Structure 1
Amino acid sequence: MTSQLRIIQNCKFPRFVMLPNSSLQLHAFCDASMTAYGACACIRSYSQGLTTSRLHCSKSNVAPLKTLTIPMLELSAALLLAELENCAYPGVDKGKGVEELDGGTRLLIKSIQQVHFTEELKALIASETLPARSKLLSLHPLLDADGLLRVGGSLQNSNVAYDAKHPIFLPKCHPITKAIKPFYFEKFLHAGPQATASLRQKYWPVGGPKLVASVVSKCVRCFRTKPKLAEYVMGDLPTDRVQPNPAFHTTGIDF
Protein backbone atom coordinates (compact mmCIF):
# COMPACT_ATOMS: atom_id res chain seq x y z
CA MET A 1 0.00 0.00 0.00
CA THR A 2 2.71 2.48 0.96
CA SER A 3 4.58 1.80 -2.27
CA GLN A 4 1.54 2.95 -4.25
CA LEU A 5 1.27 6.33 -2.49
CA ARG A 6 3.77 7.85 -4.93
CA ILE A 7 1.21 7.26 -7.71
CA ILE A 8 -0.90 10.03 -6.18
CA GLN A 9 1.69 12.55 -7.34
CA ASN A 10 0.75 11.79 -10.93
CA CYS A 11 -3.03 12.09 -10.41
CA LYS A 12 -4.65 15.13 -11.97
CA PHE A 13 -8.23 16.34 -11.64
CA PRO A 14 -9.48 18.92 -14.16
CA ARG A 15 -11.05 21.85 -12.33
CA PHE A 16 -12.33 23.68 -15.41
CA VAL A 17 -15.53 21.86 -16.39
CA MET A 18 -16.17 23.69 -19.67
CA LEU A 19 -14.38 23.90 -22.98
CA PRO A 20 -13.59 27.41 -24.25
CA ASN A 21 -16.30 28.95 -26.46
CA SER A 22 -18.49 25.87 -26.11
CA SER A 23 -22.20 25.14 -26.03
CA LEU A 24 -23.33 23.79 -22.68
CA GLN A 25 -25.89 21.32 -21.38
CA LEU A 26 -26.74 20.49 -17.79
CA HIS A 27 -27.29 16.78 -17.09
CA ALA A 28 -28.58 15.81 -13.64
CA PHE A 29 -29.19 12.43 -12.01
CA CYS A 30 -30.62 11.19 -8.71
CA ASP A 31 -31.24 7.85 -7.04
CA ALA A 32 -32.05 6.36 -3.65
CA SER A 33 -31.65 3.20 -1.61
CA MET A 34 -32.84 2.15 1.84
CA THR A 35 -29.66 3.57 3.40
CA ALA A 36 -29.04 6.82 1.51
CA TYR A 37 -30.05 9.01 -1.42
CA GLY A 38 -28.13 11.44 -3.56
CA ALA A 39 -27.98 13.59 -6.67
CA CYS A 40 -25.31 14.90 -9.00
CA ALA A 41 -25.09 17.41 -11.83
CA CYS A 42 -22.70 17.24 -14.78
CA ILE A 43 -21.92 19.85 -17.40
CA ARG A 44 -21.59 18.63 -20.98
CA SER A 45 -19.72 21.03 -23.24
CA TYR A 46 -19.19 20.82 -26.99
CA SER A 47 -16.71 22.84 -29.00
CA GLN A 48 -15.11 22.28 -32.42
CA GLY A 49 -15.91 18.57 -32.57
CA LEU A 50 -14.71 17.91 -29.01
CA THR A 51 -17.19 16.88 -26.31
CA THR A 52 -16.55 16.59 -22.58
CA SER A 53 -18.83 15.71 -19.67
CA ARG A 54 -17.56 16.48 -16.18
CA LEU A 55 -19.03 16.42 -12.70
CA HIS A 56 -19.93 19.89 -11.50
CA CYS A 57 -21.50 19.25 -8.11
CA SER A 58 -23.09 16.47 -6.06
CA LYS A 59 -24.77 15.94 -2.75
CA SER A 60 -25.95 12.96 -0.72
CA ASN A 61 -27.86 12.37 2.51
CA VAL A 62 -28.25 9.40 4.81
CA ALA A 63 -31.77 7.97 4.91
CA PRO A 64 -33.81 8.98 8.00
CA LEU A 65 -33.86 6.68 11.02
CA LYS A 66 -37.60 6.28 10.48
CA THR A 67 -38.01 3.63 7.81
CA LEU A 68 -39.33 5.06 4.56
CA THR A 69 -40.36 3.36 1.35
CA ILE A 70 -38.15 3.49 -1.73
CA PRO A 71 -40.63 5.77 -3.61
CA MET A 72 -40.56 8.29 -0.74
CA LEU A 73 -36.77 8.19 -0.65
CA GLU A 74 -36.68 8.69 -4.42
CA LEU A 75 -38.89 11.75 -3.98
CA SER A 76 -36.39 13.05 -1.43
CA ALA A 77 -33.64 12.47 -3.99
CA ALA A 78 -35.67 14.36 -6.60
CA LEU A 79 -36.03 17.29 -4.18
CA LEU A 80 -32.28 17.22 -3.56
CA LEU A 81 -31.73 17.23 -7.31
CA ALA A 82 -34.03 20.24 -7.72
CA GLU A 83 -31.95 22.12 -5.14
CA LEU A 84 -28.81 21.41 -7.17
CA GLU A 85 -30.51 22.52 -10.40
CA ASN A 86 -31.55 25.80 -8.80
CA CYS A 87 -27.90 26.69 -8.21
CA ALA A 88 -26.28 29.20 -10.53
CA TYR A 89 -24.47 27.45 -13.37
CA PRO A 90 -22.34 29.84 -15.48
CA GLY A 91 -23.46 29.90 -19.10
CA VAL A 92 -26.36 27.50 -18.65
CA ASP A 93 -29.76 28.59 -19.95
CA LYS A 94 -31.79 28.86 -16.73
CA GLY A 95 -35.02 29.44 -18.61
CA LYS A 96 -34.67 26.09 -20.31
CA GLY A 97 -33.84 24.48 -16.97
CA VAL A 98 -37.04 25.87 -15.45
CA GLU A 99 -39.07 24.52 -18.36
CA GLU A 100 -37.49 21.09 -17.98
CA LEU A 101 -38.13 21.13 -14.23
CA ASP A 102 -41.76 22.11 -14.80
CA GLY A 103 -42.12 19.33 -17.34
CA GLY A 104 -40.66 16.86 -14.86
CA THR A 105 -43.12 18.04 -12.21
CA ARG A 106 -46.05 17.48 -14.56
CA LEU A 107 -44.76 14.01 -15.45
CA LEU A 108 -44.43 13.14 -11.76
CA ILE A 109 -47.96 14.37 -10.95
CA LYS A 110 -49.33 12.47 -13.95
CA SER A 111 -47.87 9.22 -12.60
CA ILE A 112 -49.33 9.97 -9.17
CA GLN A 113 -52.79 10.60 -10.65
CA GLN A 114 -52.64 7.30 -12.52
CA VAL A 115 -52.34 5.54 -9.15
CA HIS A 116 -54.84 7.54 -7.06
CA PHE A 117 -57.44 8.51 -9.70
CA THR A 118 -57.43 5.35 -11.79
CA GLU A 119 -61.21 5.03 -12.19
CA GLU A 120 -61.69 8.69 -13.08
CA LEU A 121 -58.95 8.58 -15.72
CA LYS A 122 -60.33 5.40 -17.30
CA ALA A 123 -63.82 6.92 -17.46
CA LEU A 124 -62.63 10.18 -19.05
CA ILE A 125 -60.41 8.44 -21.60
CA ALA A 126 -63.36 6.22 -22.60
CA SER A 127 -65.73 9.26 -22.64
CA GLU A 128 -67.87 7.64 -19.95
CA THR A 129 -69.60 9.02 -16.86
CA LEU A 130 -67.56 9.09 -13.67
CA PRO A 131 -68.47 6.58 -10.92
CA ALA A 132 -71.15 7.87 -8.58
CA ARG A 133 -68.85 7.37 -5.57
CA SER A 134 -66.08 9.52 -7.06
CA LYS A 135 -65.05 12.50 -4.93
CA LEU A 136 -64.29 14.47 -8.10
CA LEU A 137 -67.75 14.10 -9.64
CA SER A 138 -69.07 17.51 -8.53
CA LEU A 139 -65.97 19.27 -9.91
CA HIS A 140 -66.53 18.05 -13.51
CA PRO A 141 -62.93 16.89 -14.09
CA LEU A 142 -61.29 17.03 -17.51
CA LEU A 143 -58.06 15.89 -19.16
CA ASP A 144 -55.64 18.42 -20.62
CA ALA A 145 -53.31 17.95 -23.59
CA ASP A 146 -50.67 16.34 -21.33
CA GLY A 147 -53.13 13.84 -19.88
CA LEU A 148 -53.32 15.62 -16.49
CA LEU A 149 -56.56 15.45 -14.54
CA ARG A 150 -57.86 18.97 -13.86
CA VAL A 151 -60.88 20.71 -12.37
CA GLY A 152 -63.54 21.51 -14.96
CA GLY A 153 -65.49 24.21 -13.14
CA SER A 154 -67.36 27.11 -14.71
CA LEU A 155 -64.51 29.57 -15.44
CA GLN A 156 -64.01 28.59 -19.06
CA ASN A 157 -64.86 32.11 -20.28
CA SER A 158 -62.69 33.83 -17.66
CA ASN A 159 -59.51 35.67 -18.67
CA VAL A 160 -57.44 34.23 -15.79
CA ALA A 161 -54.53 31.85 -16.39
CA TYR A 162 -55.28 28.30 -17.52
CA ASP A 163 -53.89 26.82 -14.29
CA ALA A 164 -56.23 29.03 -12.26
CA LYS A 165 -59.26 28.08 -14.36
CA HIS A 166 -58.42 24.38 -14.27
CA PRO A 167 -56.19 23.49 -11.29
CA ILE A 168 -54.44 20.13 -11.24
CA PHE A 169 -55.92 17.51 -8.93
CA LEU A 170 -53.69 16.18 -6.16
CA PRO A 171 -54.50 13.22 -3.89
CA LYS A 172 -55.19 14.04 -0.26
CA CYS A 173 -52.40 12.32 1.66
CA HIS A 174 -49.63 11.88 -0.92
CA PRO A 175 -46.09 13.07 0.04
CA ILE A 176 -46.11 15.51 -2.91
CA THR A 177 -49.30 17.14 -1.60
CA LYS A 178 -47.83 17.29 1.90
CA ALA A 179 -44.73 19.00 0.48
CA ILE A 180 -46.65 21.57 -1.58
CA LYS A 181 -48.82 22.72 1.34
CA PRO A 182 -45.99 24.07 3.53
CA PHE A 183 -44.35 25.66 0.48
CA TYR A 184 -47.38 27.85 -0.26
CA PHE A 185 -47.93 28.45 3.46
CA GLU A 186 -44.41 29.84 3.79
CA LYS A 187 -44.53 31.65 0.44
CA PHE A 188 -47.58 33.68 1.47
CA LEU A 189 -46.18 34.44 4.93
CA HIS A 190 -48.29 32.08 7.05
CA ALA A 191 -51.54 33.25 5.47
CA GLY A 192 -53.58 30.64 7.32
CA PRO A 193 -56.71 29.30 5.63
CA GLN A 194 -56.33 32.01 2.96
CA ALA A 195 -53.39 29.99 1.64
CA THR A 196 -55.94 27.54 0.23
CA ALA A 197 -57.07 30.13 -2.32
CA SER A 198 -53.45 30.77 -3.33
CA LEU A 199 -52.72 27.05 -3.60
CA ARG A 200 -55.74 26.56 -5.86
CA GLN A 201 -54.33 28.98 -8.41
CA LYS A 202 -52.43 25.95 -9.71
CA TYR A 203 -53.30 22.82 -7.71
CA TRP A 204 -56.50 21.40 -6.25
CA PRO A 205 -55.67 18.99 -3.40
CA VAL A 206 -58.65 16.88 -2.42
CA GLY A 207 -59.78 18.11 1.00
CA GLY A 208 -57.76 21.32 0.63
CA PRO A 209 -59.13 23.41 3.55
CA LYS A 210 -58.55 20.60 6.06
CA LEU A 211 -55.03 20.08 4.75
CA VAL A 212 -54.15 23.77 5.15
CA ALA A 213 -55.74 23.79 8.61
CA SER A 214 -53.48 20.91 9.61
CA VAL A 215 -50.41 22.89 8.48
CA VAL A 216 -51.54 25.95 10.44
CA SER A 217 -52.20 23.92 13.59
CA LYS A 218 -48.68 22.42 13.46
CA CYS A 219 -46.91 25.74 12.88
CA VAL A 220 -45.02 26.74 16.05
CA ARG A 221 -44.58 30.34 14.89
CA CYS A 222 -48.30 30.79 14.26
CA PHE A 223 -49.09 29.23 17.65
CA ARG A 224 -46.74 31.61 19.47
CA THR A 225 -47.93 34.74 17.72
CA LYS A 226 -51.64 33.95 17.76
CA PRO A 227 -53.30 36.74 19.78
CA LYS A 228 -55.85 35.95 22.45
CA LEU A 229 -59.31 37.16 21.56
CA ALA A 230 -60.93 39.54 24.03
CA GLU A 231 -63.90 38.09 25.89
CA TYR A 232 -66.63 40.65 26.50
CA VAL A 233 -69.15 40.36 29.32
CA MET A 234 -72.69 40.52 28.00
CA GLY A 235 -74.71 43.43 29.36
CA ASP A 236 -78.12 43.14 31.03
CA LEU A 237 -81.08 42.78 28.70
CA PRO A 238 -83.73 45.54 28.73
CA THR A 239 -86.66 45.12 31.12
CA ASP A 240 -89.19 44.82 28.26
CA ARG A 241 -87.33 41.76 26.95
CA VAL A 242 -87.23 39.79 30.16
CA GLN A 243 -90.68 40.42 31.62
CA PRO A 244 -93.79 38.62 30.26
CA ASN A 245 -96.43 40.88 28.66
CA PRO A 246 -99.37 40.44 26.26
CA ALA A 247 -98.62 40.29 22.55
CA PHE A 248 -97.67 43.61 20.96
CA HIS A 249 -97.49 45.29 24.41
CA THR A 250 -94.08 46.64 23.50
CA THR A 251 -93.07 47.32 19.90
CA GLY A 252 -90.18 48.97 18.14
CA ILE A 253 -89.14 50.12 14.68
CA ASP A 254 -85.79 50.37 12.88
CA PHE A 255 -85.17 53.48 10.78
Structure 2
Amino acid sequence: MKDLEFGIDLLPNQRSLGLNWNLETDTFFFEVMTKDKSFTRRGILSCINSIFDPLGFLAPVVIQGKNILRNLVLGTKEWDEPLSEDQLDTWRHWRDSLIKLEDLHISRNYFPESLKRCKEKRIHVFCDASEFAIAAAGYIMTTSSESKCHTGFVLGKAKLTPTHGHSIPRLELCAAVLAVEVGCSIADHLSLQITDFKFYSDSKVVLDSRSFLHGKFLCVRVAFLQHVTRSFAGLSGCSGWHYCTKSRIVEAFQEAEKFIVRTVQQEVFTEEIDYLMQNKALPESSSLLSLDVFLDPDGIPRVGGRLNRSNMP
Protein backbone atom coordinates (compact mmCIF):
# COMPACT_ATOMS: atom_id res chain seq x y z
CA MET A 1 0.00 0.00 0.00
CA LYS A 2 2.85 2.44 0.74
CA ASP A 3 4.14 2.17 -2.85
CA LEU A 4 0.79 3.08 -4.40
CA GLU A 5 0.24 6.41 -6.07
CA PHE A 6 -3.37 7.28 -5.26
CA GLY A 7 -5.40 8.50 -8.19
CA ILE A 8 -3.22 6.62 -10.67
CA ASP A 9 -2.61 3.06 -9.45
CA LEU A 10 -5.48 0.64 -8.88
CA LEU A 11 -6.01 -0.43 -5.30
CA PRO A 12 -5.18 -4.11 -4.65
CA ASN A 13 -7.61 -6.70 -3.36
CA GLN A 14 -7.43 -7.44 0.34
CA ARG A 15 -8.66 -10.14 2.68
CA SER A 16 -10.61 -8.87 5.69
CA LEU A 17 -11.67 -11.42 8.33
CA GLY A 18 -11.52 -14.15 5.71
CA LEU A 19 -13.55 -12.21 3.12
CA ASN A 20 -12.15 -10.97 -0.17
CA TRP A 21 -12.38 -7.18 -0.33
CA ASN A 22 -12.00 -5.15 -3.50
CA LEU A 23 -10.71 -1.78 -2.29
CA GLU A 24 -11.24 -0.13 -5.66
CA THR A 25 -15.00 -0.80 -5.75
CA ASP A 26 -15.40 -1.25 -1.96
CA THR A 27 -17.18 -4.58 -2.47
CA PHE A 28 -16.86 -8.14 -1.24
CA PHE A 29 -16.24 -10.89 -3.79
CA PHE A 30 -15.67 -14.64 -3.76
CA GLU A 31 -13.00 -16.94 -5.09
CA VAL A 32 -14.07 -20.53 -5.71
CA MET A 33 -11.51 -23.35 -5.71
CA THR A 34 -13.00 -26.33 -7.55
CA LYS A 35 -9.93 -27.72 -9.31
CA ASP A 36 -7.97 -30.78 -8.19
CA LYS A 37 -10.84 -32.09 -6.08
CA SER A 38 -11.46 -35.81 -6.25
CA PHE A 39 -14.95 -37.07 -7.13
CA THR A 40 -15.46 -38.69 -3.74
CA ARG A 41 -17.19 -37.79 -0.51
CA ARG A 42 -13.90 -36.43 0.80
CA GLY A 43 -13.34 -34.25 -2.25
CA ILE A 44 -16.90 -32.92 -2.20
CA LEU A 45 -16.66 -32.05 1.51
CA SER A 46 -13.37 -30.24 0.85
CA CYS A 47 -14.96 -28.25 -1.99
CA ILE A 48 -17.98 -27.19 0.09
CA ASN A 49 -15.89 -26.20 3.10
CA SER A 50 -13.59 -24.10 0.89
CA ILE A 51 -16.44 -21.57 0.46
CA PHE A 52 -16.02 -19.14 3.34
CA ASP A 53 -19.25 -17.23 3.83
CA PRO A 54 -19.76 -16.19 7.50
CA LEU A 55 -22.51 -13.66 6.73
CA GLY A 56 -24.65 -16.00 4.65
CA PHE A 57 -24.45 -14.22 1.29
CA LEU A 58 -24.15 -17.60 -0.44
CA ALA A 59 -26.39 -19.61 1.88
CA PRO A 60 -28.89 -20.56 -0.89
CA VAL A 61 -26.00 -21.99 -2.94
CA VAL A 62 -24.01 -23.67 -0.17
CA ILE A 63 -27.07 -25.41 1.31
CA GLN A 64 -27.66 -27.14 -2.02
CA GLY A 65 -24.11 -28.51 -1.96
CA LYS A 66 -24.60 -29.76 1.60
CA ASN A 67 -27.80 -31.48 0.54
CA ILE A 68 -25.97 -33.21 -2.32
CA LEU A 69 -23.26 -34.35 0.11
CA ARG A 70 -25.85 -35.75 2.51
CA ASN A 71 -27.45 -37.77 -0.28
CA LEU A 72 -24.03 -39.10 -1.25
CA VAL A 73 -23.35 -40.15 2.32
CA LEU A 74 -26.49 -42.27 2.19
CA GLY A 75 -25.43 -43.84 -1.11
CA THR A 76 -21.73 -44.56 -0.48
CA LYS A 77 -19.83 -46.46 2.18
CA GLU A 78 -16.27 -45.12 2.07
CA TRP A 79 -14.96 -41.55 2.02
CA ASP A 80 -12.71 -42.25 -0.97
CA GLU A 81 -15.19 -44.37 -2.92
CA PRO A 82 -15.73 -42.93 -6.45
CA LEU A 83 -19.16 -41.54 -7.24
CA SER A 84 -21.58 -43.32 -9.51
CA GLU A 85 -22.47 -41.81 -12.89
CA ASP A 86 -25.79 -40.37 -11.63
CA GLN A 87 -24.15 -38.88 -8.56
CA LEU A 88 -21.29 -37.51 -10.65
CA ASP A 89 -23.65 -35.65 -13.00
CA THR A 90 -25.50 -34.05 -10.06
CA TRP A 91 -22.28 -33.00 -8.42
CA ARG A 92 -20.72 -31.59 -11.61
CA HIS A 93 -23.82 -29.52 -12.33
CA TRP A 94 -23.63 -27.85 -8.90
CA ARG A 95 -19.84 -27.49 -8.90
CA ASP A 96 -19.74 -25.88 -12.35
CA SER A 97 -22.37 -23.36 -11.25
CA LEU A 98 -19.96 -22.05 -8.59
CA ILE A 99 -17.88 -20.33 -11.26
CA LYS A 100 -20.64 -17.75 -11.62
CA LEU A 101 -20.08 -16.69 -8.01
CA GLU A 102 -16.83 -15.00 -9.07
CA ASP A 103 -18.95 -12.42 -10.90
CA LEU A 104 -20.83 -11.58 -7.70
CA HIS A 105 -19.81 -8.35 -5.95
CA ILE A 106 -21.58 -7.18 -2.79
CA SER A 107 -21.24 -3.64 -1.49
CA ARG A 108 -19.48 -3.41 1.87
CA ASN A 109 -21.80 -0.60 2.98
CA TYR A 110 -25.43 -1.24 3.78
CA PHE A 111 -26.48 2.08 2.21
CA PRO A 112 -24.91 4.98 0.33
CA GLU A 113 -25.66 7.29 3.30
CA SER A 114 -24.03 7.10 6.72
CA LEU A 115 -26.07 5.23 9.30
CA LYS A 116 -25.47 7.99 11.82
CA ARG A 117 -27.53 10.35 9.70
CA CYS A 118 -30.52 7.98 9.52
CA LYS A 119 -33.51 8.84 11.68
CA GLU A 120 -34.81 5.28 12.14
CA LYS A 121 -33.14 1.87 11.97
CA ARG A 122 -35.26 -1.27 11.92
CA ILE A 123 -34.33 -4.95 11.65
CA HIS A 124 -36.58 -7.27 9.64
CA VAL A 125 -35.96 -11.04 9.80
CA PHE A 126 -37.71 -13.49 7.47
CA CYS A 127 -37.85 -17.26 7.91
CA ASP A 128 -39.16 -20.24 5.97
CA ALA A 129 -38.87 -24.02 5.83
CA SER A 130 -39.02 -26.77 3.23
CA GLU A 131 -38.59 -30.52 3.30
CA PHE A 132 -34.81 -30.31 2.99
CA ALA A 133 -33.79 -27.00 4.63
CA ILE A 134 -34.76 -24.18 6.97
CA ALA A 135 -33.51 -20.63 6.53
CA ALA A 136 -33.66 -17.12 7.95
CA ALA A 137 -32.41 -13.79 6.62
CA GLY A 138 -32.07 -10.46 8.41
CA TYR A 139 -32.23 -7.02 6.79
CA ILE A 140 -31.79 -3.51 8.10
CA MET A 141 -34.13 -0.78 6.87
CA THR A 142 -33.44 2.87 7.54
CA THR A 143 -35.19 6.16 6.99
CA SER A 144 -32.83 8.93 5.94
CA SER A 145 -32.97 12.58 6.91
CA GLU A 146 -34.76 13.15 3.60
CA SER A 147 -37.40 10.53 4.50
CA LYS A 148 -36.04 8.03 1.96
CA CYS A 149 -36.04 4.31 2.85
CA HIS A 150 -33.05 2.06 2.21
CA THR A 151 -32.72 -1.67 2.82
CA GLY A 152 -29.56 -3.73 3.23
CA PHE A 153 -28.80 -7.40 3.87
CA VAL A 154 -27.20 -8.07 7.28
CA LEU A 155 -27.08 -11.81 8.05
CA GLY A 156 -28.47 -15.07 6.71
CA LYS A 157 -28.40 -18.68 7.89
CA ALA A 158 -29.56 -21.98 6.42
CA LYS A 159 -29.57 -25.49 7.86
CA LEU A 160 -30.42 -28.92 6.50
CA THR A 161 -33.47 -30.58 7.98
CA PRO A 162 -33.39 -34.10 9.46
CA THR A 163 -33.96 -36.81 6.86
CA HIS A 164 -37.11 -38.08 8.58
CA GLY A 165 -39.33 -37.70 11.63
CA HIS A 166 -40.38 -34.06 11.25
CA SER A 167 -43.50 -32.55 9.73
CA ILE A 168 -43.61 -29.21 7.90
CA PRO A 169 -45.21 -27.43 10.91
CA ARG A 170 -42.34 -28.63 13.10
CA LEU A 171 -39.80 -27.44 10.54
CA GLU A 172 -41.56 -24.08 10.33
CA LEU A 173 -41.17 -23.79 14.10
CA CYS A 174 -37.46 -24.60 13.81
CA ALA A 175 -37.16 -21.90 11.14
CA ALA A 176 -38.81 -19.43 13.53
CA VAL A 177 -36.29 -20.31 16.24
CA LEU A 178 -33.47 -19.82 13.69
CA ALA A 179 -34.92 -16.41 12.82
CA VAL A 180 -34.85 -15.36 16.48
CA GLU A 181 -31.24 -16.58 16.73
CA VAL A 182 -30.36 -14.44 13.70
CA GLY A 183 -32.08 -11.47 15.35
CA CYS A 184 -30.20 -12.02 18.60
CA SER A 185 -26.89 -12.23 16.72
CA ILE A 186 -27.63 -8.98 14.89
CA ALA A 187 -28.58 -7.25 18.15
CA ASP A 188 -25.38 -8.42 19.83
CA HIS A 189 -22.94 -7.52 17.04
CA LEU A 190 -24.48 -4.54 15.27
CA SER A 191 -23.44 -1.56 17.42
CA LEU A 192 -26.39 0.62 16.48
CA GLN A 193 -29.41 1.94 18.28
CA ILE A 194 -32.13 -0.19 16.68
CA THR A 195 -35.62 1.31 16.67
CA ASP A 196 -37.50 -1.98 16.27
CA PHE A 197 -37.19 -5.67 15.47
CA LYS A 198 -39.74 -7.45 13.28
CA PHE A 199 -39.95 -11.16 12.47
CA TYR A 200 -41.91 -12.66 9.59
CA SER A 201 -43.23 -16.16 8.94
CA ASP A 202 -45.84 -17.45 6.48
CA SER A 203 -46.80 -20.27 8.85
CA LYS A 204 -50.03 -19.72 10.76
CA VAL A 205 -49.02 -22.57 13.06
CA VAL A 206 -45.93 -20.64 14.15
CA LEU A 207 -47.77 -17.36 14.56
CA ASP A 208 -50.29 -19.08 16.84
CA SER A 209 -48.18 -21.28 19.12
CA ARG A 210 -51.30 -22.40 20.97
CA SER A 211 -52.09 -24.66 18.03
CA PHE A 212 -49.18 -26.94 18.96
CA LEU A 213 -49.67 -30.15 20.89
CA HIS A 214 -46.84 -29.53 23.31
CA GLY A 215 -44.44 -32.47 23.15
CA LYS A 216 -40.95 -32.22 24.57
CA PHE A 217 -39.55 -31.29 21.15
CA LEU A 218 -42.10 -28.53 20.64
CA CYS A 219 -42.39 -27.07 24.11
CA VAL A 220 -38.70 -26.13 24.33
CA ARG A 221 -38.87 -24.21 21.05
CA VAL A 222 -42.21 -22.63 21.84
CA ALA A 223 -40.85 -21.62 25.25
CA PHE A 224 -37.90 -19.93 23.57
CA LEU A 225 -40.23 -17.89 21.36
CA GLN A 226 -42.52 -17.16 24.31
CA HIS A 227 -39.54 -16.01 26.33
CA VAL A 228 -38.52 -13.50 23.66
CA THR A 229 -42.07 -12.21 23.22
CA ARG A 230 -43.21 -12.02 26.85
CA SER A 231 -40.05 -10.50 28.23
CA PHE A 232 -40.01 -7.82 25.54
CA ALA A 233 -43.69 -7.00 25.96
CA GLY A 234 -43.41 -6.93 29.73
CA LEU A 235 -40.49 -4.51 29.79
CA SER A 236 -41.45 -1.99 27.14
CA GLY A 237 -45.18 -2.40 26.58
CA CYS A 238 -44.62 -3.62 23.01
CA SER A 239 -46.54 -6.48 21.45
CA GLY A 240 -45.75 -8.91 18.67
CA TRP A 241 -43.08 -11.45 17.97
CA HIS A 242 -39.79 -9.57 18.16
CA TYR A 243 -36.56 -9.36 20.16
CA CYS A 244 -35.32 -6.95 22.79
CA THR A 245 -31.81 -6.80 24.19
CA LYS A 246 -33.32 -6.30 27.66
CA SER A 247 -34.89 -9.76 27.56
CA ARG A 248 -31.83 -11.39 29.12
CA ILE A 249 -32.49 -10.29 32.67
CA VAL A 250 -32.66 -12.95 35.38
CA GLU A 251 -36.46 -12.66 35.78
CA ALA A 252 -36.97 -13.33 32.07
CA PHE A 253 -34.92 -16.53 32.16
CA GLN A 254 -36.73 -17.67 35.30
CA GLU A 255 -40.10 -17.18 33.62
CA ALA A 256 -38.90 -19.12 30.58
CA GLU A 257 -37.72 -21.98 32.82
CA LYS A 258 -41.07 -22.09 34.64
CA PHE A 259 -42.91 -22.19 31.31
CA ILE A 260 -40.88 -25.20 30.13
CA VAL A 261 -41.31 -27.10 33.41
CA ARG A 262 -45.03 -26.34 33.58
CA THR A 263 -45.58 -27.46 29.98
CA VAL A 264 -43.73 -30.76 30.37
CA GLN A 265 -45.47 -31.58 33.66
CA GLN A 266 -48.85 -30.78 32.14
CA GLU A 267 -48.14 -33.31 29.41
CA VAL A 268 -47.01 -36.10 31.75
CA PHE A 269 -49.18 -35.49 34.84
CA THR A 270 -52.36 -34.04 33.35
CA GLU A 271 -54.71 -36.01 35.60
CA GLU A 272 -52.71 -35.39 38.76
CA ILE A 273 -52.61 -31.63 38.15
CA ASP A 274 -56.38 -31.56 37.66
CA TYR A 275 -56.88 -33.32 41.03
CA LEU A 276 -54.47 -30.95 42.79
CA MET A 277 -56.18 -27.88 41.36
CA GLN A 278 -59.48 -29.16 42.79
CA ASN A 279 -57.84 -29.93 46.19
CA LYS A 280 -58.63 -33.63 45.76
CA ALA A 281 -56.55 -36.63 46.75
CA LEU A 282 -54.56 -38.21 43.96
CA PRO A 283 -56.03 -41.37 42.37
CA GLU A 284 -54.61 -44.69 43.54
CA SER A 285 -53.26 -45.39 40.06
CA SER A 286 -51.01 -42.33 40.15
CA SER A 287 -47.24 -42.86 40.32
CA LEU A 288 -47.05 -39.78 42.55
CA LEU A 289 -49.35 -41.19 45.23
CA SER A 290 -46.53 -42.05 47.63
CA LEU A 291 -45.08 -38.54 47.39
CA ASP A 292 -46.17 -35.38 49.16
CA VAL A 293 -47.18 -33.49 46.01
CA PHE A 294 -48.54 -29.94 46.03
CA LEU A 295 -48.94 -27.02 43.62
CA ASP A 296 -46.71 -24.00 44.19
CA PRO A 297 -47.96 -20.43 43.54
CA ASP A 298 -46.87 -20.74 39.88
CA GLY A 299 -49.00 -23.85 39.32
CA ILE A 300 -46.01 -26.19 39.17
CA PRO A 301 -46.33 -29.56 41.00
CA ARG A 302 -43.63 -29.99 43.63
CA VAL A 303 -42.74 -32.67 46.16
CA GLY A 304 -42.39 -31.98 49.89
CA GLY A 305 -39.24 -33.12 51.68
CA ARG A 306 -38.50 -34.67 55.06
CA LEU A 307 -37.79 -31.25 56.56
CA ASN A 308 -41.51 -30.58 56.54
CA ARG A 309 -41.93 -33.38 59.09
CA SER A 310 -39.13 -32.21 61.36
CA ASN A 311 -39.42 -30.08 64.49
CA MET A 312 -37.25 -27.36 63.06
CA PRO A 313 -38.77 -23.85 63.41
Q: By the TM > 0.5 criterion, same fold? A: no
- Which of the two has higher C-alpha Rg? 1
Q: If the length of structure 1 is used for normalisation, what is the TM-score?
A: 0.41
- Give the TM-score normalised by the residue count of structure 2: 0.34
